[in-house]
Amino acid sequence: MAERFDVVIVGAGFAGLYMLHRLRGLGLSARVFEQGDNVGGTWYWNRYPGARCDAESLAYSFSFSPELEQQWQWTERYATQPEILQYAEHVAERFDLYRDIRFQQRVVSATYDEADNSWLVTTAQGETAVAQFCIMATGCLSVPQLPDIKGIDNFQGARYQASMWPPEGVDFSGCTVGVIGTGSSGIQAIPVIAERAEHLYVFQRTPNFSVPAVNGALDDGWVEQFKVNYRQHRHYHKHGLSSGFGDLEIEPRERTPAAESAADMSAQEVAAILDPYWQRGGAFFLSAFADSLIEPRSNAKIADYVRGKIREIVQDPQTAEDLCPTDHPIGSKRICVDTGYYAAYNRSNVSLINVRRTPIEEVTATGIRLSDRNIDLDTLVLATGFDAMTGALLNMDIRGRGGVRLADKWHSGPRAYLGINMHGFPNLFTVTGPGSPSVLSNMLVSIEQHVDWMVGCIEHMRSHGRQRVEAELQAEDHWVAHVNEIANATLFPQGGSWYLGANVSGKPRVFMPYAAGVGAYRDICEDVVRDNYRGFVFS
Ligand code: NAP
Question: In angstroms, rounded to a whole number, what is the distance separating the alpha carbons of residues 278 and 211?
Answer: 7
> Do 319 and 429 sit in the same domain of this protein?
no
Kindly report whether the global pTM for this prediction surpasses the value 0.75: yes
> Do 364 and 374 sit in the same domain of this protein?
no
> Do 109 and 227 sit in the same domain of this protein?
no
Question: In angstroms, rounded to a whole number, what is the distance separating the alpha carbons of residues 333 and 148?
Answer: 21
Q: How far is CA 167 from the centre of its chain?
A: 21
Nearest protein CA to atom 28 of ligand 1, as residue = 385
Candidates 381, 338, 429, 331; CA nearest to 131 is 429
- Confirm or reject: Cβ of 141 under 6 Å from ligand 1: yes
> Do 375 and 504 sit in the same domain of this protein?
no
pLDDT score at 439: 97
- Other CB atoms within a 10 A radius of the CB of residue 520 amount to 15
Domain holding 265, by residue range, is 210-338+351-369
Question: In angstroms, rounded to a whole number, what is the distance separating the alpha carbons of residues 375 and 396?
Answer: 39
> Do 403 and 533 sit in the same domain of this protein?
yes
Q: Taking the CA of residue 55 as centre, how many other CA atoms within 13 Å lie in the half-sphere pointing to its CB? A: 21
Phi-psi region of 188 (alpha: psi -120 to 50; beta: other; left: phi over 0): alpha
- Confirm or reject: Cβ of 185 under 6 Å from ligand 1: yes
Distance in Å, CA 487 to ligand 1 centroid? 21
- For 374, phi and psi rounded to 5 degrees? -105, 140
Residue 478 corresponds to which amino acid?
A: H
> Do 393 and 517 sit in the same domain of this protein?
yes
Distance in Å, CA 429 to ligand 1 centroid? 28
Distance in Å, CA 472 to ligand 1 centroid? 36
Distance in Å, CA 497 to ligand 1 centroid? 9
Residue 355 CA: which ligand 1 atom is closest? 20
Query: pLDDT digit string (tens) for 343-371?
Result: 999 999 999 999 999 999 999 999 999 99
> Do 160 and 130 sit in the same domain of this protein?
no
> Do 316 and 378 sit in the same domain of this protein?
no
- Confirm or reject: Cβ of 180 under 6 Å from ligand 1: yes
Nearest protein CA to atom 32 of ligand 1, as residue = 334
> Do 66 and 111 sit in the same domain of this protein?
yes
Which residue out of 152, 164, 503, 505 has the highest number of ligand 1 atoms within 8 Å of its CB and is therefore the one to mutate?
503
pLDDT score at 286: 95
Query: pLDDT digit string (tens) for 19-31?
Result: 999 999 999 999 9
pLDDT score at 242: 79
Distance in Å, CA 25 to ligand 1 centroid? 38
Question: In angstroms, rounded to a whole number, what is the distance separating the alpha carbons of residues 301 and 260?
Answer: 13
Percent of residues, the chain, with pLDDT higher than 90:
96
Question: In angstroms, rounded to a whole number, what is the distance separating the alpha carbons of residues 73 and 484?
Answer: 40
pLDDT score at 415: 98
pLDDT score at 250: 87
Residue 78 CA: which ligand 1 atom is closest? 41
Question: In angstroms, rounded to a whole number, what is the distance separating the alpha carbons of residues 305 and 295?
Answer: 16
> Do 44 and 114 sit in the same domain of this protein?
yes
> Do 12 and 151 sit in the same domain of this protein?
no
- Confirm or reject: Cβ of 45 under 6 Å from ligand 1: no
Residue 224 corresponds to which amino acid?
A: E
Question: In angstroms, rounded to a whole number, what is the distance separating the alpha carbons of residues 392 and 138?
Answer: 6
pLDDT score at 521: 98
Question: In angstroms, rounded to a whole number, what is the distance separating the alpha carbons of residues 152 and 23?
Answer: 45
- Confirm or reject: Cβ of 387 under 6 Å from ligand 1: no
- Confirm or reject: Cβ of 438 under 6 Å from ligand 1: no
> Do 505 and 407 sit in the same domain of this protein?
yes
Residue segments in the chain with a per-residue pLDDT below the cut of 50? none
Question: In angstroms, rounded to a whole number, what is the distance separating the alpha carbons of residues 114 and 322?
Answer: 57
Q: What is the CATH number of the domain that holds 154?
A: 3.50.50.60
Cα of first residue to Cα of last residue in the chain, in angstroms, is: 27
Distance in Å, CA 456 to ligand 1 centroid? 36
Distance in Å, CA 335 to ligand 1 centroid? 11
- Confirm or reject: Cβ of 54 under 6 Å from ligand 1: yes
Query: How many structural domains compose the chain?
Result: 3
Distance in Å, CA 3 to ligand 1 centroid? 40
